[in-house]
Every structure is written in structure tokens, then in C-alpha cells.
């Protein structure tokens, strides 16, 4: 009796939760919706509730809360309209339930079905992709091909990923690492490229929270601790500016936000200074509310007001108002010397520019008509299409090309007539030639940059003027591949080379045909393929080419075959074929080796053949995961940069690993201690503290002194991270010790 009562109230409670989430979604729709939209949104919601009614998320919540929240992110945080809301509500319906794509097409029409189909295809389960060499690269290609179908597929997918990242805590740790790695590998650069800065920043921070838990916690704690002081400073900085802005009758608002944890961490790493010494932890933003026709002049007027009050640093002026970034970003940035001599970055922009900066691509359409600048996204999407169309390269090549060409910053260069061309940063003179026309590229002989003759691989800089001389007898060679950075140029060179090889290979093909005839084998596709496979050639063109260059001797090689009825048959079958995929090997349990306390996939790891990765030296207590490499299982720390890369590319090889809470075994860890070399017994104090004070074994000890600073490396046997933490703490207390860090 009472049980039924409890069950009913729980169901009711969940129902309330769902309706509340739905109402919240409806409230957040800011775009215009007509009656038909409203009916369809309601219908999509009801279909999702019904379809997912038995499913639950890892958090235990009803599953349908996920699509509702994804829909809310689409509209509230990206600014998409009714169609996207409907598709987001339905995004997991086809994948997980009995509703078919046809049902959706009938009820909601062609476009919704198209987008939902794209989203379903993107839902890659890692197990399915285990048989491709790099599932990550394949996935990436998939994500990008949907871009050209309907950009909303990718935008909804990103909202989906964002919600999953926000609720990642419910997942087991090894899956968290995998998802976080994939996010920083694919989704943050994509968000960046689509101008979704806010989302990109959140992706980076959420990923870092998983892969670098301790550093993340440390930086955000420090940000919190300095908040009051920072706000006071921002107020002091803005005050004199506000007076001037008001006097000039410029409608404005200001914000002073701290930078993201991830970007601060990057600063700490590249500048190699402690947190306390980073001054530009925040940027001040001045947003003016003026019509598009006045934006540019008002922005410069504001710049002038700021630099009347504070001294600017000229090298730090960045004008993306006159020429927007290729991802659509428009803003005027300057760094000035604020009160107390601190450097402060100021970003000046209009409300429209701010909207584009936050929501990128999605906001872009809203202003499309108002903007005079060329449509940056159209140009970019054309680029994406071009690279996708050239499907001849394998996925890894594709990925690398994509990363350099479409995610990088760009340089602006000019033709002799003054037409502007945009190339990715690192683009060369030869890339420029190919960007004009493939024929110009093929026949480029001499290239002048700013009237000076340069080598073809010369890297172009902003503002360069490039002049190409062509000659019909010129043709591309293998070495040209090293002189270009763009995928377009590389593809053109590759296909030209292929043509060339094909021509030269003709002789080889004829030779092979003759040899086949001699042994009475038919010169047909199936036989050629058997022969090519035996020699491990992927392309027949390459095979013919090498025969014509006499690198292969077909007569000798054909002795490995017999011929039956014109068919080629291999005589010797090689037995030493290696297994394609790495396999878990077990070793006999050796009782003399102490147990490590490590568990892999929930099982004690002692009878598995594993080793600790030498890139990050994990010790018990570290957050770790296991990676199934071709050389067996390797244990990495969750924050090992190396492993993150592996996890992103080969996520399906990741296994869960964790430690038993108590371990009796010792592990090696290396500490780096630095300080001022006073020559008075610091070293003795350190070693004393470790061996007598803490009773630990020192395994190795190195010290170097340079210009009055010593650096000491000590390798120790410790039980776990807790003990290691204790060591670090006690060493820091010794006078003369400045810094103690664990070697990564």
C-alpha cells in the first residue's frame, strides 16, 4: 500500500520536473515563432516524452530532461529558432527508441528529418568504430560533412555535447577523460571556428576540469580569492572613462570579466610565472549601442577617449573592426597602462559585434543583411566543401589538413592589383599561387613578394603583396609538397603528381601485362589486385610506376604464384601475421612481487601485463587510466598531455583504472626543488628532512647551480600522493627553498 503511494509521488515529482523544464524552454525562445511552430514544438516535446519514457540518464533523472535541456541551450545560448528546437527535442529519438526517421518526416517534414538524420549519424558509439584506424578522425570528418548539409546539425550537436559535459560527473572516470579529450580535440576548435567564443571557453574549462583537476581547482580557488580586489581595481579603472563617455553622449555599457581558467593556465605555462604575477586576469569591455553606420567611427572615438586617460601600448592594438577575423569576430582591442602601472586589456565593440562575438555563426545570420562585409562564413563553408570533396586522402591526413587550414588564424595578403586574399597563418607564396587558380599554381616559376624575389616556400605575412610569374613548361614535383601549408594546394599538387605517375606507369602496366601472359594468367582486375596485395601496394598506379622504374622484378615475384584456369594463386602463405589489434596478455602471477593495488576495469591488475607510462610516472593515489597500446597496457595519469592526445584519437582503447585505497608498495616520484644558492647548508637540510625527518629513501639526487640559483632533483620512494604532498609541504618550509614541484 505505502509502496504504491511512494511510487506515485515519485512519478508525479518527475512529471513536474519535466513540465517545468519544458516551460523553461518555451520561455527562453526569443526568436519569432508562428502558430505552426508552436504546435510542432509541442508535438516534438510530447513525442520525446513518450519515446524516452522508460529511459534514464546516468544521473538517475528521466532521460527526456536531456533533449529538453539541449533544446534550451540551442535557443537560449546559441540563439537558434523553432526548427532547431524541434530537432534538438528529437535528437536522440531515432537512435534510442522505436520511432523511425520516416515517422519524423511524416510528422515534421523534410528539413527536420534531414537534421535529425544528421544528428543520429553523428552519434558514434566508440565500440562500432573500433575497427577503423583512427575513429576520432573519422568522426571528425563526419561532423564536418554535416556542416555542409545544414549547419544546424553541428550547432545542435555542440549543444548536446555541452549538456553532456556539464553533467559529466555522473560518468565513470575513464569515460570522463575520453569525452573530455574528444571535446578539446574536436568541439572546442570547431566552436572557435564558428565564432562561438562563449561555448569554446566553456568547453575548454570543462575539459580541463577533468584532465587537470588539481590545476583547475587551484586556479579557480585563486581567482575566487582575488575577486574583491579585482572588482575594486576594475571600478577604479573604469571611473574616469565613464565620465568622458557620458560627456561625449555615447550610449555604452561596460563589463570587467575575469578570463577563463583555461586561458589563465595557458598564460602560466607559456610565460612561466606564478599566478600572483599575472596582471591581465581580466579584460574590460566597452560596448556601445549605436547604429551599424556609426559603429566604426564611434569605436575609434572610444579608443581615443581611453588613450587620453591611459597610456596605450601600441604593439598591442588589434583592429578587427576594419577587417574582421575570418571567423566573423569584430572588435577593437588595446592594452593600456592602468592605475598602479598594471596592464589592462580593453575591448571596444558595438552591441551587434558583441552578439556576434558571443554567439558567432548563429548571430551572424541575424545581421547578414545589415553587414557590408563579405560573408565570412560562406567563404569558409566553401573551403570546407572543397576539402571534403577531395576525399582521396585518408582520415588522418584530412584531419591534419583541416587543423592547419580551417582552425588557424589567418594572414591577409594582396594581389598586384590590390585584391585581398585570406590564407591560413603559415601560408606560403606557392599557396598564394594555388589560391589564385590551380593553373597559376601548376606553372608558377618565379614569385615576388613586395617586389623582391623569394623562394616558393616563403611564408607570407600580413600586408604582403605577391606577384606570380608563370611558365607553361613548369610542372609540380614531389618537393613542392614541402613548400605549401594549405590543403587546397597540397591536394592539387598530389593529384598532378598522380597524373604524372599514371603517365609514367603506363610502361610498367604494359610490362606486367606481358609477364602475366607468359605464365598464362589473365590480365584482369582480380589478378592484378592479388598481385598488388601480395606486395602490399594500395594503389595500382604506384605498382605500375615502380615496375616502370624497375624497382620491382615481376618475373621473380610471379614465382610466388601458380596459375589455375587463368587465375593467380599465391603459393606461400605467411604464417607470422601479427594480430591487427592489441590483445590483453596475462602473465603468471609471481608471488614474490608485491601487489600493486591497481585495478583495471574493476579487476586486480596483478595478473595483467601492464606498465607505468614513462611520460607521466603515476603513483598510487593519482587519477589514472589504462591505455591499451600495441606494446600492452600502459597506465597514465589523467592529466598526462600525451595521454589526452591518445585518448582523443583512440578513445576505444581506454580502460578504467583505479587504486585500492591502501597500498603497501612504494613508488618513485621525482621532485624539483629550486632556491637561492646561499651556500649555507640548504642541501643538507633537504636531505636530512627527507631521510631522518620523514624516514624516506632517496633513490637519486642531482643538483646544479647557475647564477646563484640552485636546482635540485630528488627521486624518492613514496607510498602515495598523500605522502608525497606531505613531503612537498615540509620541504617548502625549509628556509632557502623557494619552490618544490613534482616533475611531470
- List, by residue number, the catalytic residues: 95-96
Instruction: Identify which of residues 83 and 663 has a Cβ nearer to Mn ion in the complex.
Output: 83
Contact pattern for Mn ion over residues 186 through 215, marking x by CB under 5 A: ------------------------------
Region label for 332, one of left (φ > 0), alpha (ψ between -120 and 50) or beta (otherwise): beta
| Near Mn ion in 391-450, by CB under 5 A | none
- The residues, any chain, with a CB within 8 Å of residue 519's CB and separated by 6 or more, are 558, 561, 563
Q: Report the nearest approach of Mn ion to the CB of residue 158 (Å).
A: 11
Does 69 participate in binding Mn ion (rule CB under 5 A)? no
Instruction: Identify which of residues 163 and 488 has a Cβ nearer to Mn ion in the complex.
Output: 163
Region label for 484, one of left (φ > 0), alpha (ψ between -120 and 50) or beta (otherwise): beta
Contact present, 582 and 630 (Cβ < 8 Å): yes
**By CB under 5 A, which span of 156-164, 216-224, 660-668, 729-737 interacts with Mn ion?**
156-164
**By CB under 5 A, which span of 158-166, 329-337, 447-455, 490-498 interacts with Mn ion?**
158-166
Residues in the chain: 744
**By CB under 5 A, which span of 152-160, 215-223, 465-473, 561-569 interacts with Mn ion?**
152-160
| Near Mn ion in 530-559, by CB under 5 A | none
Alpha-carbon distance 458 to 483, whole Å?
Answer: 8
Instruction: Identify which of residues 160 and 658 has a Cβ nearer to Mn ion in the complex.
Output: 160
Q: Which long-range contacts (CB under 8 A, 24 or more apart) does 350-353 make?
A: 350/287, 350/288, 350/289, 350/290, 350/292, 350/295, 350/298, 350/299, 351/287, 351/288, 351/289, 352/292, 352/295, 353/295, 353/321
Q: Report the nearest approach of Mn ion to the CB of residue 92 (Å).
A: 5
Specify burial of residue 586 (Cβ count, 10 A radius: 0-12, 13-18, 19+): exposed
Size of interface with Mn ion, in residues (CB under 5 A) = 2
| Helices 487-518 + 540-548 axis angle, to 10 | 70
Q: Report the nearest approach of Mn ion to the CB of residue 40 (Å).
A: 20
Q: Report the nearest approach of Mn ion to the CB of residue 164 (Å).
A: 7
Instruction: Identify which of residues 92 and 182 has a Cβ nearer to Mn ion in the complex.
Output: 92
Instruction: Write the DSSP string, 673-705.
Output: EEEE--SSSHHHHHHHIIIIIS---EEEEEEEE
CA atoms within 13 A on the CB side of 426: 14
**By CB under 5 A, which span of 153-161, 258-266, 481-489, 553-561 interacts with Mn ion?**
153-161
Q: Which residues pair with 715 in a beta bridge?
A: 670, 700
Q: Report the nearest approach of Mn ion to the CB of residue 123 (Å).
A: 7
Closest residue by beta carbon to Mn ion: 160
Q: Report the nearest approach of Mn ion to the CB of residue 166 (Å).
A: 12
Report the DSSP pairing between strands 466-470 and 444-449: antiparallel
Q: Report the nearest approach of Mn ion to the CB of residue 116 (Å).
A: 12
Q: What is the dihedral of CA 611, 615, 620, 621, to 10 degrees?
A: -140
Instruction: Identify which of residues 91 and 509 has a Cβ nearer to Mn ion in the complex.
Output: 91
Does 160 participate in binding Mn ion (rule CB under 5 A)? yes
Q: Report the nearest approach of Mn ion to the CB of residue 61 (Å).
A: 13
Contact pattern for Mn ion over residues 617 through 636, marking x by CB under 5 A: --------------------
- The residues, any chain, with a CB within 8 Å of residue 113's CB and separated by 6 or more, are 101, 102, 104, 105
CA nearest neighbour of 648 among 675, 632, 627: 627
Query: Given 3-state DSSP classes, what are the helix, strand and coil percentages for the chain, each rounded to the nearest 5?
Result: 55, 15, 30
| Near Mn ion in 665-724, by CB under 5 A | none
Q: What are phi and psi of 29, to 5 degrees?
A: -75, 115
Instruction: Identify which of residues 160 and 606 has a Cβ nearer to Mn ion in the complex.
Output: 160
Report the DSSP pairing between strands 420-424 and 698-706: unpaired
Q: Which long-range contacts (CB under 8 A, 24 or more apart) does 23-26 make?
A: 24/72, 25/68, 25/71, 25/72, 25/75, 25/85
| Near Mn ion in 78-117, by CB under 5 A | 92
Instruction: Identify which of residues 69 and 431 has a Cβ nearer to Mn ion in the complex.
Output: 69
Instruction: Identify which of residues 160 and 182 has a Cβ nearer to Mn ion in the complex.
Output: 160
Q: Report the nearest approach of Mn ion to the CB of residue 125 (Å).
A: 12
Instruction: Identify which of residues 92 and 622 has a Cβ nearer to Mn ion in the complex.
Output: 92
Contact pattern for Mn ion over residues 508 through 527, marking x by CB under 5 A: --------------------
Q: Which H or E run includes 647? A: helix 641-649
| Near Mn ion in 286-305, by CB under 5 A | none
Q: Give the number of other CB atoms < 10 A from CB of residue 10.
A: 10
Binding site for Mn ion (CB under 5 A): 92, 160
Amino acid at each position: 500500500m505505502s509502496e504504491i503511494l511512494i511510487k506515485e509521488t515519485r512519478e508525479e515529482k518527475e512529471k513536474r520536473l519535466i513540465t517545468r523544464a519544458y516551460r523553461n524552454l518555451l520561455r527562453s525562445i526569443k526568436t519569432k515563432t508562428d502558430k505552426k511552430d508552436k504546435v510542432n514544438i509541442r508535438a516534438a516535446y510530447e513525442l520525446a516524452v513518450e519515446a524516452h519514457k522508460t529511459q534514464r540518464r546516468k544521473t538517475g533523472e528521466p532521460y527526456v530532461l536531456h533533449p529538453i535541456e539541449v533544446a534550451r541551450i540551442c535557443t537560449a545560448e546559441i540563439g537558434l529558432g523553432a526548427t532547431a528546437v524541434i530537432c534538438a527535442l528529437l535528437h536522440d529519438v531515432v537512435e534510442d527508441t522505436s520511432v523511425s526517421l520516416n515517422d519524423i518526416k511524416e510528422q515534421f517534414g523534410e528539413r527536420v528529418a534531414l537534421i535529425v538524420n544528421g544528428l543520429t549519424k553523428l552519434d558514434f558509439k566508440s565500440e562500432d568504430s573500433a575497427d577503423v584506424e583512427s575513429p576520432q578522425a573519422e568522426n571528425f570528418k563526419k561532423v564536418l560533412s554535416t556542416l555542409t548539409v545544414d549547419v544546424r546539425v553541428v550547432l545542435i550537436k555542440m549543444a548536446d555535447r555541452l549538456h553532456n559535459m556539464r553533467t559529466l560527473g555522473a560518468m565513470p572516470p575513464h569515460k570522463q577523460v575520453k569525452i573530455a579529450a574528444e571535446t578539446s580535440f574536436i568541439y572546442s576548435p570547431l566552436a572557435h571556428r564558428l565564432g562561438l567564443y562563449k561555448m569554446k571557453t566553456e568547453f575548454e574549462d570543462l575539459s580541463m576540469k577533468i584532465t587537470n583537476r588539481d590545476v583547475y581547482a587551484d586556479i579557480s580557488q585563486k581567482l575566487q580569492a582575488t575577486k574583491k580586489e579585482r572588482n575594486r581595481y576594475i571600478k577604479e579603472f573604469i571611473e574616469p572613462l565613464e565620465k568622458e563617455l557620458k560627456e561625449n553622449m555615447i550610449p555604452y555599457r561596460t563589463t570587467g570579466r575575469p578570463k577563463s581558467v583555461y586561458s589563465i593556465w595557458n598564460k602560466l605555462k607559456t610565460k612561466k610565472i606564478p599566478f600572483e604575477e599575472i596582471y591581465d586576469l581580466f579584460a574590460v569591455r566597452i560596448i556601445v549601442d549605436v547604429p551599424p553606420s556609426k559603429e566604426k567611427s564611434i569605436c575609434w572615438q572610444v579608443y581615443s577617449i581611453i588613450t587620453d586617460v591611459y597610456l596605450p601600448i601600441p604593439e598591442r592594438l588589434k583592429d578587427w573592426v576594419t577587417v574582421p577575423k575570418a571567423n566573423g569576430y569584430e572588435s577593437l582591442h588595446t592594452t593600456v597602462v592602468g592605475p598602479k602601472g598594471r596592464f589592462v586589456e580593453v575591448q571596444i565593440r558595438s552591441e551587434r559585434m558583441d552578439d556576434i562575438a558571443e554567439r558567432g555563426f548563429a548571430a551572424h545570420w541575424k545581421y547578414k543583411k545589415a553587414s557590408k562585409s563579405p560573408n565570412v562564413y560562406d567563404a569558409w563553408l566553401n573551403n570546407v566543401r572543397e576539402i571534403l570533396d577531395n576525399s582521396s586522402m585518408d582520415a588522418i591526413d584530412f584531419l591534419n589538413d583541416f587543423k592547419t587550414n580551417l582552425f588557424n588564424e589567418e594572414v591577409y595578403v594582396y594581389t598586384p592589383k590590390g585584391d585581398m586574399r585570406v590564407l591560413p597563418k603559415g601560408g606560403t607564396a606557392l599557396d598564394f599561387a594555388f589560391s589564385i587558380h590551380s593553373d597559376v599554381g601548376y606553372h608558377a616559376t618565379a614569385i615576388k613578394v613586395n617586389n623582391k624575389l623569394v623562394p616558393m616556400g616563403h611564408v607570407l605575412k600580413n600586408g604582403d603583396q605577391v606577384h606570380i610569374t608563370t611558365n607553361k613548361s613548369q610542372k609540380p614535383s614531389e618537393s613542392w609538397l614541402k613548400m605549401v601549408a594549405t590543403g587546397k594546394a597540397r591536394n592539387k599538387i598530389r593529384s598532378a603528381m598522380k597524373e604524372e605517375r599514371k603517365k609514367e606507369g603506363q610502361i610498367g602496366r604494359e610490362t606486367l601485362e606481358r609477364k602475366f601472359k607468359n605464365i598464362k594468367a589473365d590480365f584482369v582486375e582480380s589478378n592484378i589486385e592479388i598481385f598488388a596485395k601480395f606486395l602490399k601496394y594500395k594503389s595500382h598506379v604506384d605498382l605500375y610506376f615502380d615496375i616502370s622504374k624497375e624497382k620491382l622484378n615481376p618475373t621473380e615475384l610471379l614465382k610466388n604464384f601458380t596459375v589455375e584456369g587463368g587465375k593467380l594463386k599465391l603459393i606461400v602463405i605467411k604464417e607470422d601475421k601479427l594480430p591487427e589489434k592489441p590483445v590483453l596478455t596475462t602473465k603468471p602471477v609471481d608471488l614474490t612481487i608485491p601487489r600493486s593495488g591497481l585495478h583495471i576495469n574493476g579487476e586486480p591488475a596483478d595478473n595483467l601485463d601492464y606498465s607505468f607510462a614513462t611520460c607521466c610516472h603515476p603513483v598510487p593515489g593519482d587519477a589514472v587510466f589504462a591505455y591499451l597500446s600495441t606494446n600492452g597496457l600502459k597506465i597514465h595519469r589523467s592529466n598526462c598531455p600525451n595521454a589526452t592526445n591518445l585518448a582523443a584519437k583512440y578513445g576505444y582503447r581506454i580502460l578504467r583504472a583505479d587504486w585500492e585505497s591502501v597500498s603497501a608498495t612504494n613508488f618513485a616520484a621525482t621532485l624539483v626543488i629550486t632556491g637561492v644558492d646561499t651556500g649555507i647548508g640548504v642541501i643538507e637540510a633537504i636531505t636530512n628532512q627527507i631521510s631522518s625527518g620523514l624516514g624516506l629513501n632517496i633513490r637519486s639526487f642531482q643538483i646544479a647551480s647557475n647564477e646563484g640559483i640552485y636546482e635540485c632533483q630528488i627521486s624518492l620512494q613514496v607510498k602515495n600522493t598523500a605522502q608525497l604532498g606531505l613531503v612537498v609541504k615540509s620541504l617548502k618550509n625549509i628556509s632557502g627553498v623557494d619552490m618544490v614541484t613534482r616533475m611531470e
